Structure 1
């Protein structure tokens, strides 16, 4: 891991700098769909984070976060998986960091299936097997493991905000689910 993850690093933007950047240019993110796989690599479970919103609603979401200046995509992916799932999740990062999907979020609805009121963002989406135990950190209340069919169900998509249900279906669909 690089040393680019410290809060006192000059590559970390203040709240004001981030707000200015979000108004002027797309921000690069990584998103991860944590999965459990069997010995043949078939997805047996999908992990979704359960979070409470500021208005008190409960939503499901994916592991996600920004890529910092000077940080590789692989480092950012690992950092956010560890931050959201805990240090004992043991993610199995791909040998080549090629995303299963690329999602473009816009602050204006209707341009794409993905909306982010704060910014225009481009997200590299990965499906990442995890082998350890997951103990959510940050603002996630729990990691819910479910069979792929349940994760792909319309009822689950309705629990996800900003088009992430569509994104989850596309990412899992690209792997044959």
Structure 2
């Protein structure tokens, strides 16, 4: 893994090329694989407190699998015990554009995010900038009130994940 870009270099690159990200929907399942709960982060952002998925950049020389594991550990702690799938094919791909009015708007950059659903077996505790990790039933995360606490892009990814898991 190479070193992080300086803030100036990162800003320059963001203006020139799409950045690669991973978005992860942490889940807990029962003994036969049915989804019991979905973990959402509570984070303080510049515009207030919001719910979010686990997300972050893929670093230079870092595999997708390593990026998923790193971001899960960073946000959910080292004892979260994620069960990464044998195949790292995403359930969907999200795109973000710095263009005002774009379907998925991110003022910072053009980004492509590979989206995953990852079962968690261990204890998930808030880490890094996460204030809290809360587990919701599939019914609870479908409510407009809870989705309003998320960015529209993360709410859309969550809805797609619910459909992919047969919870829609």
TM-score (norm 2): 0.95
Q: Is 2:131 the partner of 1:141?
A: yes
Q: Deviations over 1:151-170 (max 9, x none)?
A: 12111111001421111101
Please give the alpha-carbon distance, in whole angstroms, between the structure 2 residues aligned to 1:108 and 1:144: 32
Please give the alpha-carbon distance, in whole angstroms, between the structure 2 residues aligned to 1:78 and 1:42: 22
Q: Alignment partner for residue 14 of structure 2, among 10, 19, 22?
A: 22
Please give the alpha-carbon distance, in whole angstroms, between the structure 1 residues aligned to 2:161 and 2:92: 6
The residue aligned with 2:61 is 70
The residue aligned with 1:106 is 97
Please give the alpha-carbon distance, in whole angstroms, between the structure 1 residues aligned to 2:8 and 2:55: 21
TM-score (norm 1): 0.91
Q: Deviations over 1:88-142 (max 9, x none)?
A: 0000001000111100011124332x22110000000001000100111111100
Q: Is 2:117 the partner of 1:127?
A: yes
Please give the alpha-carbon distance, in whole angstroms, between the structure 2 residues aligned to 1:175 and 1:145: 16
**SS of alignment partner, residue 15 of structure 2:** helix
Please give the alpha-carbon distance, in whole angstroms, between the structure 1 residues aligned to 2:152 and 2:57: 17
Q: Alignment partner for residue 78 of structure 2, among 40, 62, 87?
A: 87
Gapped runs of 5+ residues in structure 1? none
Work out the number of aligned pairs and report it.
167
Please give the alpha-carbon distance, in whole angstroms, between the structure 2 residues aligned to 1:74 and 1:109: 32
Please give the alpha-carbon distance, in whole angstroms, between the structure 2 residues aligned to 1:93 and 1:132: 13
**SS of alignment partner, residue 128 of structure 1:** strand
* Root-mean-square deviation over aligned CA pairs: 1.1
Q: Is 2:36 the partner of 1:44?
A: yes
